[in-house]
Chain A
């Protein structure tokens, strides 16, 4: 809005009527910037109910409790039934899925018993890091989008860390975070936004209802570190999708005939992959993997740690710039 005011013309020295805006130029710039961001999901790779749409460059598999284990890759000598809650597959071929238990003994399971997923602390699907707190033991199953705490103590988390350089732009703004959970929730479940390293709580929401959106709106406080968003459970839960956005209301999902459905179409997988590849990339050919962060495509967040990973029996060369 603008209104007429009378000023003194600095050139002529005579009174003159001019339009005066109610907002400063900086306020207008800030509003444009906020509008550009409004309702965009500030989380990467956070729509989990469609396993084919998830960015999962590591391609991890797990074998679950109760699976038959063999002592040989030909699967002729049955060693027993797996008693551990879950074990990560360390090598997978068309013939077997190899696992190694806590004391370093390897066994072989049927390929059909290997399901997409991750167990234990560390990165799983792109941008999401599993963590066990106070004795928690996390397992994440990709095809059923299930987070499990395989422990009688503590809780399991799936965590995304957002860099400070990006998060600082949210300070002082109204932010809403929301999660839609599927049926199959048990045990205390919650989601939280924290300041990294200090673990200062920014916003927290416990979850008791499923098949509906749970959200919380807050004003972003001053921060000096990265921030992290996580979903945590002492039992198990099945988060369908999560959203962190500027604005006073959640735009993750709406109700149709009493059912909650996601608002947005599934994110463009190509764009999600590009966002994730700033943090993690894999190469089939070692010589094609750059070393300088700016030579990767897309350029990576920082100089990455270089390593290798075995996916379906083949060695790939990795560049890890995760937080």
Chain B
């Protein structure tokens, strides 16, 4: 009854980390170029292992892969591997403190006040009003 089986594919990066996975059951037309065939005897939904969870989360909430391919088999990455990926993530620009933001607004407002006064004086000159 081979007709009942589906193919399961995964995308793996150069470090062996599993980036995505799918079954050709729900996704019969997905491009499989560059993917690894995990099994051709799979169920309708994607699993990493025959008795594994259907459509498991493959990354954590930071997008860090949770599994890797080792000797052709998916295995869970260690906590150290995952934390190493997290430490290597680019550090976002620091968020300004409240004091820094208020100071910046005050400076900007002061500058704008000067500009407003200059603009008003210029308008008066151009309109010919002297008083």
Q: Does A158 contact B (CB under 8 A)?
A: no
Query: Would you call B56 and A305 a contact (CB within 8 A)?
Result: no
Known: A302-B54, A321-B45. A307 touches B27 (CB 8 A): yes
Query: Would you call A131 and B3 a contact (CB within 8 A)?
Result: yes
Residues of A within 8 A of B46 (CB): 305
Q: Does A133 contact B (CB under 8 A)?
A: yes
Query: Would you call B23 and A305 a contact (CB within 8 A)?
Result: yes
Query: Would you call A307 and B3 a contact (CB within 8 A)?
Result: no
Known: A302-B45, A304-B55, A305-B46. A322 touches B26 (CB 8 A): yes
Residues of A within 8 A of B25 (CB): 305, 320, 322
Cα(A307)–Cα(B1), bound, Å: 27
Query: Would you call B55 and A303 a contact (CB within 8 A)?
Result: yes
Query: Would you call A307 and B26 a contact (CB within 8 A)?
Result: yes
Query: Would you call A302 and B55 a contact (CB within 8 A)?
Result: yes
Cα(A196)–Cα(B5), bound, Å: 11
Q: Does A290 contact B (CB under 8 A)?
A: no
Q: Does A171 contact B (CB under 8 A)?
A: no
Residues of A within 8 A of B56 (CB): 303
Residues of B within 8 A of A133 (CB): 1, 3
Cα(A131)–Cα(B1), bound, Å: 10
Interface residue total, chain B, C-beta cutoff 8 A: 18
Interface residues of B in 28-54 (CB under 8 A from A): 28, 43-46, 53-54
Residues of A within 8 A of B57 (CB): 303
B131 → A minimal CB distance (Å): 60
Q: Does B67 contact A (CB under 8 A)?
A: no
Interface residues of A in 272-323 (CB under 8 A from B): 302-305, 307, 318, 320-323
Q: Does B9 contact A (CB under 8 A)?
A: no
Query: Would you call B1 and A122 a contact (CB within 8 A)?
Result: no
Query: Would you call A322 and B44 a contact (CB within 8 A)?
Result: yes
Query: Would you call A303 and B28 a contact (CB within 8 A)?
Result: no
Cα(A132)–Cα(B1), bound, Å: 10
Cα(A304)–Cα(B53), bound, Å: 11
Cα(A133)–Cα(B1), bound, Å: 7
Q: Does A199 contact B (CB under 8 A)?
A: yes
The interface bits of chain B over 1-18 (1 if a CB of A lies within 8 angstroms of the residue's CB, else 0) are 101100000000000000
Known: A322-B25, A322-B26. A305 touches B3 (CB 8 A): no
Interface residues of A in 127-160 (CB under 8 A from B): 131-133
Query: Would you call B3 and A132 a contact (CB within 8 A)?
Result: yes
B111 → A minimal CB distance (Å): 40
Query: Would you call B45 and A305 a contact (CB within 8 A)?
Result: yes
A11 → B minimal CB distance (Å): 52
The interface bits of chain A over 98-124 (1 if a CB of B lies within 8 angstroms of the residue's CB, else 0) are 000000000000000000000001100
18 residue pairs from A and B, CB less than 8 Å apart:
A131-B3, A131-B4, A133-B1, A302-B45, A302-B53, A302-B55, A303-B54, A303-B55, A303-B57, A304-B55, A305-B22, A305-B23, A305-B25, A305-B46, A318-B26, A320-B26, A321-B45, A322-B25
Given A303-B56, A304-B55, A305-B27: 10 more A-B contacts, CB < 8 Å: A131-B3, A132-B3, A133-B3, A302-B54, A302-B55, A305-B22, A305-B26, A318-B26, A321-B45, A323-B43
